[in-house]
Structure 1
Amino acid sequence: MKILTQTFRNCVGAAALAALSVPAVLPATPALAASPAEAKQLDQAVAALRGIKTMKADFIQSGRDGQMVRGTLTLKRPGRIRFQYEKSAKMLIVSDGKALTMIDYAVDQVQRWPISDSPLGALLDPHRDVAKYGKVIPTGNPDVVSIEVRDKSHPEYGVITLIFTRKASAPGGLELTYWVALDSQNQRTTIALSNQRYGMPVTDRDFRWTDPRRKTHR
Structure 2
Amino acid sequence: MTRYALALALPIALVAPAALPAQATGDLAAVQRHLQSVETMTADFTQTDRNGKVLTGTFTLKKPGKLRFQYEKGVPILIVAEGGALTFIDYSVRQVQRWPIKNSPLGVLLDPTRDITRYAKLVQTGNDRVVSVEANDPKHPEYGKITLIFARDSAAPAGLALQGWVALDSQNNRTTIRLSNQRFGVPVSDQTFKWNDPRRPNVR
Shift of 1:204: 1.3
Give, in angstroms, the shift of residue 117 of structure 1: 4.3
CA distance in 2, matches of 1:140, 1:45: 18
1:11 alignment counterpart: 7
Query: Which residue in 2 is equivalent to 1:129?
Result: 115
Equivalence map 1:1-218=2 (5 Å): 6-13=2-9, 32-118=18-104, 120=105, 126=111, 128-218=114-204
Root-mean-square deviation (CA, aligned residues, Å) is 2.6
Mapped partners of 1:205, 1:39: distance in 2: 38
Q: For residues 179 and 102 of structure 1, do their structure 2 counterparts lie closer, same or farther at Cα, with a shift above 3 Å needed?
A: same
Structure that is richer in helix per residue: 1
Mind listing any 5+ residue stretches in structure 2 that lack a counterpart? none
Deviation, 1:131, is 1.1
**1:26-80, Cα deviation, whole Å (9 max, x unpaired):** xxxx954211111111111121122210011000011121101000001001211
Return 5+ residue gaps in structure 1 as ranges.
Answer: 18-29
SS at match of 1:50: helix
- Offset, 1:128: 4.6
* TM-score normalised over the length of structure 1: 0.83
- Partner Cα separation in structure 2 for residue 99 and residue 158 of structure 1: 20
| 1:81-137 deviation line (CA, Å, top 9, x unaligned) | 00001122110000015111111011111111222444x589689465321211111
| In 2, Cα distance between equivalents of 1:97 and 1:59 | 23
- Structure 2 counterpart of 1:91, which letter? I
Q: Percent identity?
A: 50
Determine if contact 1:78/1:97 at 8 Å carries over to the other structure.
Answer: no
Distance of 1:125 and 1:177 partners within structure 2: 16
* Partner-residue secondary structure (3-state), 2:74: helix
Q: Matched residues in 1 for 2:106 and 2:55: separation?
A: 24
Relative distance call for 1:31 and 1:184 in structure 2 (3 A) is closer
Partner Cα separation in structure 2 for residue 122 and residue 101 of structure 1: 13
Between the aligned partners of 2:83 and 2:179, the Cα distance in structure 1 is 21
On the 8 A contact 1:116/1:125 being kept in 2, the answer is: no
In structure 2, do the counterparts of structure 1 residues 178 and 137 end up closer, same or farther at CA, with 3 Å as the change threshold?
same
After TM superposition, give the deviation of residue 162 of structure 1 in Å.
1.1
Distance 1:166 1:122 in 2: 22
Count residues in correspondence: 202
Secondary structure of residue in 2 paired with 1:92: strand
